[in-house]
Amino acid sequence: VRLRAKTGQLRGKKVVITAGGTREALDPVRYLTNKSSGKMGYALAQAAAENGAEVTLITTTDRPTNYGVTKIFVASTQDMYEAVMAAFPTADIFIGAAAVSDFKPATLAQDKIKKQGDGGVTLHLVQNPDILKTVGHQKAPHQLVVGFAAETNEVIAYGQDKLKKKQADMLIANDVSSPSIGFSSDDNVITILTPDQPAETLPQADKLTLAREIMQRISTLK
């Protein structure tokens, strides 16, 4: 069933969301990635669609969606960056929920990398573009930019710093210090940071519940 809410606070709004962990190819058979499941981005897509938004999900993982969500599949950070840059100009809201790989191999080997004797190997990595920072710095006054930050310590201080540096309107700081929350788990503890309001920590809950809380706060900022 593909449903679209006909009413809701985000009716008529275009929402672009990123989800999942990006994959950086080393050679034709190997890549570097992270533990992201994409669940939070999918939950946000559902919550936005429930609120009447037109949702584009730029994602590295394929999961079921009940609502009319347009999925664009990408692998690397560069792919995700290009898809976001293409979708952002007509978006009202951007939410960067993907776990973007900060680094990628400096070169992509055309053939499978072979062992050389008994020695190890040193990988040379270069930095990827920062998607959230790019959209934060190029957003128009009517556009709202929301980011995430997974931290293991100093969650609020590091989150505030990212909110400012990336010029986001909202940053969801996520405590990943405990294995029972964050990344592939179904539950999260999040703190919502905005430039003008005090930090708000929500009680531990499943990702869909949190996504609905986040969308409700986003719709009050729009």
Q: Cβ of residue 9: shortest distance to Ca ion, in angstroms?
A: 31
Give the interface segment with Ca ion, choosing from 34-42, 70-78, 101-109, 112-120 (CB under 5 A): 101-109
Residue 102 interacts with ligand CTP (CB under 6 A)? yes
Which is closer to ligand CTP, CB of 66 or CB of 184? Answer: 184
Q: Cβ of residue 189: shortest distance to ligand CTP, in angstroms?
A: 15
Q: Partners of 58 in the beta sheet?
A: 18, 72
Can you read off the two tokens belonging to residue 143?
A: 């556009």
Give dist(CA 10, CA 219) in Å, integer.
Answer: 6
What residues are annotated to the active site? 34
Q: Which residue is nearest to Ca ion (CB)?
A: 102
Left (φ > 0), alpha (ψ -120 to 50) or beta: where does 38 sit? left
Residue 105 interacts with ligand CTP (CB under 6 A)? no
Give the interface segment with Ca ion, choosing from 41-49, 98-106, 126-134, 200-208 (CB under 5 A): 98-106
Is 162 annotated to bind a ligand? Reply is yes
Q: Do the Cβ atoms of 136 and 167 come closer than 8 Å?
A: yes
Residue 102 interacts with Ca ion (CB under 5 A)? yes
Long-range contacts, stretch 195-200, CB < 8 angstroms, 24+ apart = 195/163, 195/164, 195/169, 199/156, 199/159, 199/160, 199/173
Can you read off the two tokens belonging to residue 217?
A: 């706060």
Placement of tokens 């990408």 in the chain: 74
Among Ca ion, ligand CTP, none, partner that 37 touches (CB below 5 to 8 angstroms by kind): none
Please give the residue ranges that form the binding site for Ca ion (CB under 5 A): 102
Annotated binding-site ranges for CTP? 102, 112, 129-132, 148, 162, 166
